[in-house]
Amino acid sequence: MKNNTFMREIQTRHLIMIAFGGAMGTGLFVGSGGSIHQAGALGTLIAYCVASVIVYSVMLSLGELSSAFPHTGSFGDYAHRFISPSAGYVIFWMYWLNWVATVAVEYTAIALLLNPWFPDVNIYVWVALCAVAIFVLNVFTVKLFAEGEFIVSFIKVFAVMIFLILGSISIIYNIYLHGFSFTFANFYTANNNSWFPNGLTAVFMTILAVNFAFTGTEVIGVAVGETKDPRNAMPKAIRATLMRIIIFFIGSVFIIATFVSSNDARITESPFVTTLQVIRLPFLEGELPYIPDIMRFILVVALFSTANSGLYASTRMVWGLAQKKMYPSIFARLNKKGIPIYALLMTMLFSLLPFFFELGIYICLQFFPELSAYINNKSIEHMMESLITVSGFTMMIVWASISYCQYVFRKQYLASGKKLEDLAYVTPFTPYIQIIGILGCIISMIGVYFDEKERIAIWGTLIYIALCYIVYFATKHKFAKEQ
């Protein structure tokens, strides 16, 4: 480490796997069950296709920005530079909140996945162990984080490939045995012989949750600041990951929706495991031996990977704020290993707040068991849904800011007399691709408002944004003087 700057120890192979690792988490492996339950098989597939268009357009814009400005504070830095310092401040905190909420969801999802294997072990024990392990991966060197993420991301990518292969074989086998109508019955007879069991509105309500599933793809925009040769690494990572992620997501959801009805899908159970318990393959009688348990283990690894990426990314947001003299200077300090240790500790603490809340409920029930009629697994399910709403809503604001900043950058770049061919990566179809990205994000945020039980999460997030602006204007000169 030199001059309190990051060590550039992340390589292109790490960057590619970080993109995979950040995206394939609870949103896909667990949250897709909740989406199918709400929107039905066809509705969820439509929602994933819409979300794919949104994430594709945003990532194309991110490719140009991050190649031109490979900073670790990326998203907040872009908003600071191309919108306003106050907008940059808010985007920093939006992205931080997104990942703090996501990491909290990952802790709980991992504990729920392990619970069937160890029913006598309290889920809070697993949450604590998971948090400690993720902290260790992030606290020593960024190379350890990158190598750890590379390994676990490779495992999850390989697992999804096997899932796609087994699912595809089973679909073909089902068509051979029973025909198209029986095989794809979930798509048009999910509930009361309806294409959309809860109406078309449920599809719009689901888009935000589905966008949450793609959250993490943009982490490479943060990691590029600690990457060797970022000018060349970022375009390679964008090209290598984007279409593959979309194919993996839509392919997986199509297979799940084929085998798991909307009535059987839940956010607290992984539809991947459920699917592997019901699919049938040629020459095999009954369910696949050991495969569901193997997938359960892989999903634990996958969610651990996403939490790992989330803690990394959110920590860098706090560091970025302090680096821009918008937050106490102590959070800009790096240890000898090049880790923003104080920013890491602060983020870790906040990611555990929902865990402490759940633990408080658990302790309360030990003394007042009569409250169990009001506080049960549904409470955990609702908390997960609310955290996903908060994370998805804040992420849409960040994504929209990326698209807008790229448009402003391109306009300023050309106005200065520079040529597009001098850029390491050029976003195609400007400004149309940015319009698609921004409109898609707005539609996603409006859609979730139709879900009455999640409105409180939306209003809470809007209050959080207002507080961010108030704090910025109240402190914008304070921290600059201290540093």
* Domains observed in the chain: 12-475 (1.20.1740.10)
User: Which pair of structure tokens corresponds to residue 210?
Assistant: 């589905």
- Please compute the mean of the pLDDT values over residues 345-359 and round it to a whole number: 84
Q: Please provide residue 10's backbone torsions phi and psi, each rounded to the nearest 5 degrees.
A: -90, 125
- Could you tell me how far CA 13 lies from the centroid of its own chain? 20
The DSSP output letter for 419 is -
How high is the pLDDT of residue 2?
46
Closest CA to 445 of 395, 407, 387: 395
Query: How many angstroms separate the CA atoms of 330 and 336, rounded?
Result: 15
Q: Are 144 and 152 in contact (CB under 8 A)?
A: no
How far is CA 129 from each of CA 25, 61, 124, 138, rounded to the nearest angstrom?
Answer: 18, 38, 9, 15
Structure-derived torsion over alpha carbons of residues 158, 164, 166, 172, reported in degrees to the nearest 10: -160
The DSSP output letter for 192 is T
The DSSP output letter for 286 is S
How high is the pLDDT of residue 21?
59
Tens of pLDDT, residue by residue over 374-433, are: 555 556 667 777 888 888 889 899 999 999 999 999 999 999 999 888 888 888 888 999
How high is the pLDDT of residue 194?
66
How far is CA 351 from each of CA 6, 96, 103, 120, 454, rounded to the nearest angstrom?
Answer: 24, 10, 6, 25, 20
Which residue is it, tokens 């796609």?
164
Average pLDDT value over all residues in the chain? 81
Of residues 2 and 302, the one with the higher pLDDT is 302
Query: How many angstroms separate the CA atoms of 109 and 298, rounded?
Result: 13
Q: What share of the chain is helix, strand, coil (3-state, %, to 5)?
A: 75, 0, 20
Beta bridge partners of 227: 10
- Please compute the mean of the pLDDT values over residues 54-62 and round it to a whole number: 87
Tens of pLDDT, residue by residue over 263-309, are: 777 766 778 888 888 888 887 766 667 777 888 888 888 888 778 87
Query: How many angstroms separate the CA atoms of 54 and 56, rounded?
Result: 5
How high is the pLDDT of residue 346?
93
Query: How many angstroms separate the CA atoms of 193 and 173, rounded?
Result: 24
How high is the pLDDT of residue 371?
60
pLDDT confidence bin for 347, thresholds 50/70/90:
very high
Check pLDDT > 70 for residue 98.
yes
User: Which pair of structure tokens corresponds to residue 232?
Assistant: 């060349």
Query: How many angstroms separate the CA atoms of 164 and 295, rounded?
Result: 12
Query: How many angstroms separate the CA atoms of 423 and 415, rounded?
Result: 15
Which residue is it, tokens 């009688």?
285
Check pLDDT > 90 for residue 453.
no
- Please compute the mean of the pLDDT values over residues 203-212 and round it to a whole number: 81
pLDDT confidence bin for 5, thresholds 50/70/90:
low
Beta bridge partners of 194: 191
The angle that helices 291-323 and 12-23 make with each other, rounded to 10 degrees, is: 110
How high is the pLDDT of residue 308?
80
pLDDT confidence bin for 190, thresholds 50/70/90:
very low
- 318, HSE (Cβ side, Cα atoms, 13 Å): 27
User: Which pair of structure tokens corresponds to residue 79?
Assistant: 């908003």
pLDDT confidence bin for 435, thresholds 50/70/90:
very high
- Angle at CA of residue 62, ends 308 and 58, nearest 5°: 95
Closest CA to 253 of 175, 159, 164: 164
Tens of pLDDT, residue by residue over 136-180, are: 878 876 666 677 777 877 888 888 888 999 999 999 999 998 898
Query: How many angstroms separate the CA atoms of 72 and 59, rounded?
Result: 16
Tens of pLDDT, residue by residue over 219-273, are: 766 655 556 666 666 666 676 666 777 788 899 999 999 998 877 777 667 788 8
Check pLDDT > 90 for residue 470.
yes
Query: How many angstroms separate the CA atoms of 448 and 395, rounded?
Result: 13
The angle that helices 377-415 and 455-475 make with each other, rounded to 10 degrees, is: 50
Closest CA to 431 of 451, 414, 456: 414
Query: How many angstroms separate the CA atoms of 427 and 43, rounded?
Result: 30
Check pLDDT > 50 for residue 203.
yes
Q: Are 297 and 451 in contact (CB under 8 A)?
A: no
How high is the pLDDT of residue 148?
73
Closest CA to 260 of 342, 158, 171, 332: 171
SS3 309: helix
As a whole number of Å, the end-to-end CA separation of the chain is 20
- Please compute the mean of the pLDDT values over residues 173-199 and round it to a whole number: 78
Check pLDDT > 80 for residue 329.
yes
How far is CA 266 from each of CA 43, 272, 291, rounded to the nearest angstrom?
Answer: 15, 11, 20
How high is the pLDDT of residue 40?
86
Structure-derived torsion over alpha carbons of residues 363, 346, 302, 379, reported in degrees to the nearest 10: 30
Of residues 136 and 8, the one with the higher pLDDT is 136
- Please compute the mean of the pLDDT values over residues 3-15 and round it to a whole number: 57
Query: How many angstroms separate the CA atoms of 296 and 46, rounded?
Result: 27
Query: How many angstroms separate the CA atoms of 109 and 107, rounded?
Result: 6
Closest CA to 59 of 429, 437, 346, 465: 437
How high is the pLDDT of residue 1?
44
Q: Which amino acid is at 433?
A: I
